[in-house]
Structure 1
């Protein structure tokens, strides 16, 4: 197996992992919270390096990323394991799997880059499960990808340490982060984690020059109060800026939260409208299907500039980054430097 990065050897063959915010101390023969970083004989190994379980060519809008290379394809990879244990996980069948799962298959970093190029994709996305715990693999593949002109995307829960983020930022373009709630209680009870490390990492991603978009799955009775949503929105405005796209998505019952009801669309619309009132230039709704609040509107004059139907988009009233109606600037990443 591949030796891990970002860990320290302690006494009695114990190691301390500093990749994610759990900062696990792992005894010999054990694994971290993620289930895929394993201590064998006092050395920490990244057990899923080069091993995938999911591979697809997706529209970048599916991530969802609406302001990063819009209208392009993203070669998308996932493996098993997660450093969260969310009760509502929609990919639980892979995120909560163990290393004994027989459907894992090998994909060396250089072959992944070759497949991405062959597919006509403009980027590679590490997604479906948490990419942070796969750190060494995206780092190797992403470095090769950037040399070939591909964009790179993390679809992440944001539970990465400063050390981990600074290292991966050397090859990363986009940080699409779930901010699942603005409540420490929610994170502790529902996810087995803490909120503050996610806020710290997201602010650092912005500081490091990554493209950041946030996603919040709005769950009735769990994280949907307007007070909580306003706190989240104000945090984004203060720490990431008004041009940060914010996605508010509809919940559908899954995994261990099947008794909860789906989010009412009008509740999502109110959150969207409040976000605009507070100054967010690019709020969006998700999982609602061909809703006008999936479109991009010029923040200066309100004219539609990108229309979306499912994952299909149509540029309208947009000349490069300029609204043709009023001349206002529309912020999005159109190419990789």
Structure 2
């Protein structure tokens, strides 16, 4: 009886008064009217999950493509990198926590998709090949990525997404038709480690499989002492990646203490090299970073 009354009450409310479940990522935040999700960049507005960060830019720079990092996509080129705010993970070692961990009160400038695409075109004379959506987690604001990337593509330029891969396949499909390359963080290869970060390994694995079938994909794994630095984990990670395509490039990167994770030293350089060698047993292209 109580349940039926609850359903009646829900049906009697207007759309603006109802709770929703955000469809964007694995958290599926249940949001009351006006409530913001755990990513701090989406909220229940008028009964739908709406992006709060659309067109709100915190960072803009013309970067070498290798900085994304992309080693085998348009090498030697430059790309206009753009970031907003918010993230749906909570990695204690985040290097961009100033923007990824802030909310709608972040200091931003507004750029419409047309304006950002125009800036990208203006920078062609400086070697720019397009736009990279990066710095924070771009896929939680997928609408802006999709709308801008469509314009950039129509202008004959490239689109790159640097992402944690922690959104649903339905959301990935919104942007894939306009994306030329992705760098995806594969942060480790155990569910326990992903739970510590507020994530889900299986969600990321599905994302990688689908993205690799549609565009150029490179992976990055930051090696953190005591967390994801065992030979066994790298063997599993590289074997799984090779099962998709042994030609997917993997960046094995050195950790430095950052933000909330200052309780351990930087990763030993020899550890990074040893793990990279293990990955090379299965993968054709393995790069080391921050060494």
Report whether the alignment pairs 1:16 with 2:13: no
What displacement does 1:11 show?
Answer: 9.2
Give the corresponding residue for 1:117.
Answer: 121
Query: Which one of 102, 105, 114 corresponds to residue 100 of structure 1?
Result: 105
SS in 1 for 2:60: strand
Contact 2:167 2:207 in 1 (8 A): yes
SS in 2 for 1:169: helix
Query: Which one of 109, 125, 137 corresponds to residue 130 of structure 1?
Result: 137
Which ranges of structure 2 fall in alignment gaps of 5 or more residues? 1-13
Report whether the alignment pairs 1:260 with 2:236: no
Give the corresponding residue for 1:326.
Answer: none
SS in 1 for 2:251: strand
Contact 2:84 2:99 in 1 (8 A): yes
Report whether the alignment pairs 1:216 with 2:221: yes
Give the corresponding residue for 1:231.
Answer: 236
Which ranges of structure 1 fall in alignment gaps of 5 or more residues? 1-8, 289-337
Structure 1's consecutive aligned runs of 4 or more residues displaced over 3 angstroms after TM superposition are: 9-12
SS in 2 for 1:76: strand
SS in 2 for 1:285: strand
SS in 2 for 1:213: strand
- What TM-score do the two structures reach when normalised by structure 2? 0.92
Contact 2:256 2:267 in 1 (8 A): yes
Q: Report the structure, 1 or 2, having the larger helix content.
A: 2
SS in 2 for 1:170: helix
SS in 1 for 2:177: coil
C-alpha separation between the residues in 1 aligned to 2:61 and 2:166? 24
C-alpha separation between the residues in 1 aligned to 2:143 and 2:171? 10
Measured against aligned partners, the alpha-carbon deviations of 1:255-281 in whole angstroms (never above 9, x if no partner) come to: 1001111011111111111122x2311
Contact 2:22 2:31 in 1 (8 A): yes
Report whether the alignment pairs 1:198 with 2:201: no
Give the corresponding residue for 2:66.
Answer: 61
Give the stretch that moved more between structures: 60-69 or 37-46.
Answer: 37-46
Give the paired residue count: 275
Report whether the alignment pairs 1:287 with 2:282: no
Contact 1:251 1:263 in 2 (8 A): yes
What displacement does 1:10 show?
Answer: 7.3
- What TM-score do the two structures reach when normalised by structure 1? 0.79
What displacement does 1:180 show?
Answer: 0.4
C-alpha separation between the residues in 2 aligned to 1:113 and 1:98? 25
Measured against aligned partners, the alpha-carbon deviations of 1:4-39 in whole angstroms (never above 9, x if no partner) come to: xxxxx9795112221222222211121111111111
Aligned counterparts, 1:1-337, within 5 A: 12-101=17-106, 103-120=107-124, 121-189=128-196, 191-207=197-213, 209-239=214-244, 241-276=245-280, 278-288=281-291
Measured against aligned partners, the alpha-carbon deviations of 1:274-323 in whole angstroms (never above 9, x if no partner) come to: 122x23111000011xxxxxxxxxxxxxxxxxxxxxxxxxxxxxxxxxxx
Contact 2:16 2:33 in 1 (8 A): no
